[in-house]
Chains A and B, each alone.
Chain A
Amino acid sequence: MINYILRRLLYVLPVLLGVNILTFVLFFVVNSPDDMARMQLGDKHVSQAAVNNWKQQRGYDLPLIWNQQETGIQAIKKTIFFEKSVGLFVFDLGLSDNGRDIVADISQRMWPSLAIAIPSLIFGVLANITFALLLIFYRGSYLEFGGLFVCITLMSISGLFYIIAGQFLVGKLLALTPISGYAPGMEAFKFIILPVVIGIISGLGSGARWYRTLFLEEAAKDYVRTAKAKGLSELQVLFKHVLKNAMVPILTGIVVILPLLFMGSLITESFFGIPGLGSYTIDAISSQDFAIVRSMVFLGSFLYIIGLLLTDISYTLVDPRVRLN
């Protein structure tokens, strides 16, 4: 087990290196640092001195991957690729393009993100499972047909609509919650309740359908027929057998997204003015802050790979038949 985890962790390195090379190509090869400097400084007729100054302040004044002026190992080390990548691997994300410490920003902004993401996930999964169980329980009736139609309708509505309609209805017309904003501590509750509820509703359609297929697959198995033949009631079969066995795919499906909760939700956070990592990323995209976007790409892929690893481990924990080797 330990051996397996260690080997998987080693596999993380080449993947992160690949991510790094890809972002490097995107950010520095497609457009030279000079182009980015001009874009950032705003004007097409910026003097070369200003461009050089901008590059020097941010450490972009080195050659891309091979420094001809240095010899030996220094030829590789004194380059943008090496200097920017090594920092990422030890989570020293450096300064953003407007001079703020990215690590400090992230550690401060991850809490509001989590405050929204964790309740959304927990209550969302509960709502989805409940809805899916109801659909299974009323299988073959008009209720199921109606429920499935509701699911497909919910799926077909744009996520933006839920947010805009929710803000308008609850925040503006009924004035139950603030339309947007955030406050730390217990005050946060009234700010996060609306985004959480909207998050649950917008995910209900696809989520409930997904869980329904899981349950249906389980309900078609032989042991369910045996249980029914023994005379167990529909409810008992549903909760004691189907739900329990379907928990394996449900749990592993949740584990894979757990680490990514840190990243926050881009759209929800920026609509509700929540100072989390999602809105941090959006702001960075719209202000074209390459350093932040690059750091977030790296962080996101790291968390994703951790999620995959956790999934594998959780398989062995919930399903004794699976052995890692």
Chain B
Amino acid sequence: MFSLLWTDYLVFALVIGVSLLIWRASKRQHLVRPWKTVSDSTVGVVSLTVLLTFVFIGVLDSTRIKYKPNLSNGERGARTETLSVLDIVLTPIRTQIETTYSQPFAHTGYAKELLIDEQGATQWVYPRLKYAGAHLVSAESDKQKDIVTKAIAGIFLGFMCWLALLVLVLFFSKARSYKARSKAQKNIAYTLLIIFSLAGMVASLGPYYHVLGTDKVGEDVLYQAIKSIRTGLVIGTLTTLVMLPIAIALGLMAGFFRGWVDDVIQYLYTTLSSIPGVLLIAAAILMAQVYMANNPDLFTTVDDRGDMRLLLLCMILGLTSWTGLCRLLRAETLKIREMDYVMAARALGVGRMQILKRHVLPNVMHLVMITVVLDFSGLVLAEAVLSYINIGVDPSTYSWGNMINTSRLEMAREPIVWWPLVAAFIFMFALVLAANLFADVVRDAFDPRENN
């Protein structure tokens, strides 16, 4: 049984919509050409592959299934649980919860505890963890060797999966020899090899160790960081989905119709953009909190609450960020409406709406494309900052901002708890770097000034 939240539906709608767009665009020569430039660039292909891997994880995490878990005695449990496919894939990592902090690859706890051994004597020692390294007999001597063996086995596993995939793809494609592949395809293959190796290592080490340690309540940090991918992607993409229709419609109208329409729209965006973005978001989130506190029966589960707030955050971010693109589109439309082909269309008696649709819109689409890609990384970074001042996503939602926010206070501890912070920053960095590099390549490919 599927049990989807609001943002899940939107994520799927977005994935289907983008696939349709790609399918339609692939039939048109002039739309395919800039993408050829992108696929010729090594950076572009590699970063796109990394981005798509993140998207894949995000989509897995959006596919939620409601089911009754099997109990250990073989009977069906009475309580239904809602889990995403990603949760199920990550099952041993998700369920192996220790009592509190533990370092990456540790087999003992973070702080010494008073333990009573078999003889009844009390000892002040680091307690063994419940799950991590529990399979080791003499942990001190065996651990390093065990980790290396498991890591190599994981890389090998990843390599085998990659090889299987490669053979499968080669089998079904037309050119049957490896040499006939294009540069882009080779780049994709090599990037995938690295990703598969990493995934293989996680798969082989995950059930036995906490690769990135555990947090205050003993939850695996790697699991949290992977779960946060969806939140980052949702904020980066759904916000643009909210923003685009407003920005495109108002920008084109202001530039094309001029006169009072232009005045009203200019007034609108001057007013909106004059309010400092953070304050507008803060005000809106504060109000939403009051509303949720007063209407608790509308949001029954923690997931519902978190999801509603995530959606709301996207909408508010979208409403505060359309002004930039709108201004850009207005200026471009002002230029285009004076072009000869628009005048020709007008002389032939083409309606104004038709002109907008046929002549103006396609000619500003490259600006839209560039803005969407450029904004994405900024939004992912903004989530962390907003969550830090408590006006971001709900505290119960997995997000890098929440991870940073909760572990920030632990910096003062001795020895310091650095792994949740580092994990969140590394994952965020990987996503944002890939997005930034990709955005650069896309901008170079689509910007007409660059082609001269």
Q: A interface vs B, CB < 8 Å?
A: 14-15, 18-19, 22-23, 26-27, 30-31, 35-36, 38-39, 44, 152-153, 155-161, 164, 167-168, 260, 263, 266-267, 270, 281-282, 285-286, 288, 290, 293-294, 296-297, 300-301, 304-305, 308
Per-residue CB contact flags for chain B residues 429-445 toward chain A (1 = under 8 Å, else 0) read 10011001100100000
Return the chain A residue nearest B421 by Cβ. Answer: A164
3 shortest A-B CB distances, which residue pairs? A18-B271, A301-B274, A300-B276
Size bracket, chain B contacts: 35 or more
Q: How far is the CA of A301 from the CA of B411 in the complex (A)?
A: 36
Q: Give, as a whole number of angstroms, the nearest-CB distance from B267 to chain A.
A: 7
Check if B389 sits within 8 Å of A304, measured CB to CB: no
Contact A27 B283 (CB under 8 A): yes
Tell whether, in the assembled complex, residue A15 and residue B294 are in contact, meaning their CB atoms are under 8 Å apart: no
30 A-B pairs within 8 Å (CB atoms) are namely A15-B271, A18-B267, A19-B274, A26-B283, A27-B287, A35-B291, A36-B290, A44-B293, A152-B437, A152-B440, A155-B436, A156-B377, A156-B433, A157-B429, A157-B432, A158-B381, A158-B432, A159-B385, A160-B384, A167-B411, A168-B416, A267-B388, A293-B286, A296-B279, A297-B280, A297-B283, A300-B275, A300-B276, A300-B279, A301-B276
Minimum CB distance partner of A305 in chain B = B274
With both chains docked as a complex, state the minimum distance between the C-beta of A42 and any C-beta of chain B, in angstroms.
Answer: 11
Chain A nearest CB, measured from B274 CB (Å) = 4
* Cβ A304 vs Cβ B267 within 8 A: no
- Across the interface, B381 reaches (CB within 8 A) one of A36, A38, A159, A285, namely A159
Measured between beta carbons, the chain A residues less than 8 angstroms from B411 are: 164, 167-168
Instruction: Decide: A26 and B385 in contact? CB cutoff 8 A.
Output: no
Q: Which residues of B contact A153 (CB under 8 A)?
A: 433
Q: Contact at B384–A158, with CB atoms within 8 Å?
A: yes
How far in angstroms is the closest Cβ of chain B from A122? Answer: 22
Q: Is the CB of B276 within 8 A of A285?
A: no
Which residue of B273, B381, B384, B390 has the most chain A CB atoms within 10 A of its CB atom?
B381
Residues A161 and B276 in contact in the complex (CB < 8 Å), given A18-B267, A152-B433, A267-B389: no
Specify which chain A residues have a CB less than 8 angstroms from the CB of B290 in the assembled complex.
Answer: 30-31, 35-36, 39
Shortest beta-carbon distance from B44 to chain A in Å:
13
B 370-405 contacts with A by CB, 8 A: 377, 381, 384-385, 388-391, 400, 404
Number of CB contacts from chain A to chain B under 8 A:
125
Residue from A159, A168, A263, A294 in contact with B276 in the complex, judged by beta carbons closer than 8 Å: A263
- Asked if B284 and A281 make an inter-chain contact with CB atoms under 8 angstroms apart, the answer reads no
Chain B positions within 8 Å of A293 at CB level: 279, 282-283, 286
Residues of chain B lying within 8 A (CB to CB) of residue A18: 267-268, 271
**Interchain CA distance A64-B308 in the complex, whole Å:** 28
Specify which chain B residues have a CB less than 8 angstroms from the CB of A308 in the assembled complex: 270
Given A19-B271, A156-B377, decide whether A286 and B408 contact each other with a Cβ distance below 8 A. no
Instruction: Kindly list chain B residues whose C-beta atoms are within 8 Å of the C-beta of A30.
Output: 287, 290-291
Interface residues of B in 64-119 (CB under 8 A from A): none
Q: Is the CB of A281 within 8 A of B267?
A: no
- Shortest C-beta distance, A84 to chain B (Å), equals 14
Instruction: Give complex CA distance A14, B411 in Å.
Output: 48
Nearest A residue to B275, CB-CB: A301
With both beta carbons as reference points, the residue of chain B lying nearest to A209 in the complex is identified as B440
For B428, the chain A residues whose CB sits under 8 A away are 158
| Contact residue among A164, A288, A300 (Cβ-Cβ distance under 8 Å from B286) | A288
| Residues of B257-309 whose CB lies within 8 A of A | 267-268, 270-276, 278-280, 282-284, 286-287, 289-291, 293-294
Which A residues are CB-close (under 8 A) to B388? 160, 267
Determine the chain B residues whose CB is within 8 A of the CB of A31 once the complex forms. 287, 290-291, 294
Given contacts A152-B433, A293-B282, contact A39 B293 (CB under 8 A): yes
B residues near A281, Cβ cutoff 8 Å: 278-279, 282
Interface centre among B282, B286, B293, B388 (most CB of A within 10 A): B286
Chain B 9-24 near chain A by CB (<8 Å), digits 1 or 0: 0000000000000000
Instruction: Check: B156 CB closer than 8 A to any chain A CB.
Output: no
* Docked pose: A304 CA to B276 CA in angstroms: 8
Return chain B residues, CB-CB under 8 Å to A15: 267, 270-271, 274
Residues A297 and B276 in contact, CB atoms below 8 Å apart: yes
Complex Cα distance, B384 from A27, in Å, reads 25
Q: Which chain B residues border A267 with CB–CB below 8 Å?
A: 385, 388-389
Smallest CB gap from A14: residue in B = B267
Q: Which residues of A contact B421 (CB under 8 A)?
A: 164
Min CB–CB distance A204 → chain B (angstroms)? 15
Q: Which B residues are in CB contact (< 8 Å) with A270?
A: 389
Does B131 have its Cβ within 8 Å of any Cβ on chain A?
no
Q: Separation in Å of the A160 CB from the closest CB of chain B?
A: 6
Tell me how far the C-beta of A23 lies from the nearest C-beta in chain B, rounded to whole angstroms.
7
Contact of B425 with A by CB under 8 A:
yes
- Given A19-B275, A31-B291, A305-B274: A285 touches B286 (CB 8 Å cut-off): yes
Cβ of B294: which chain A residues have Cβ within 8 Å of it?
31, 35, 38
CA distance A266 to B437 in the complex (A): 28
Question: Quick check: B286 and A152 within 8 Å, CB to CB?
Answer: no
B377 touching A26, Cβ below 8 Å: no
| Chain A residues whose C-beta falls within 8 Å of the C-beta of B381 in the assembled complex | 158-159
B272 contact set on A, CB distance < 8 A = 22
B384, B390, B433, B440: the one contacting A285 at CB < 8 Å is B390
* Residues on the B chain within 8 Å of A19, using CB: 271, 274-275
Does A282 contact B389, Cβ atoms closer than 8 Å? yes
- A152, A160, A285: the one within 8 Å of B282 (CB): A285
B428 → chain A closest CB, angstroms: 6
**Cα(A243)–Cα(B272), bound, Å:** 34
With both chains docked as a complex, state the minimum distance between the C-beta of A279 and any C-beta of chain B, in angstroms: 10
| Closest CB in chain B relative to A156 CB, distance in Å | 4
A118 to B293, CA, bound (A): 41
Q: Are B279 and A158 in contact (CB under 8 A)?
A: no
**A308 CA to B421 CA in the complex, in Å?**
39
Pair B429/A158 contact, Cβ less than 8 Å? yes
Q: How far is the CA of A18 from the CA of B265 in the complex (A)?
A: 13
Using Cβ atoms and an 8 Å threshold, which residues of chain A touch B274? 15, 19, 300-301, 304-305
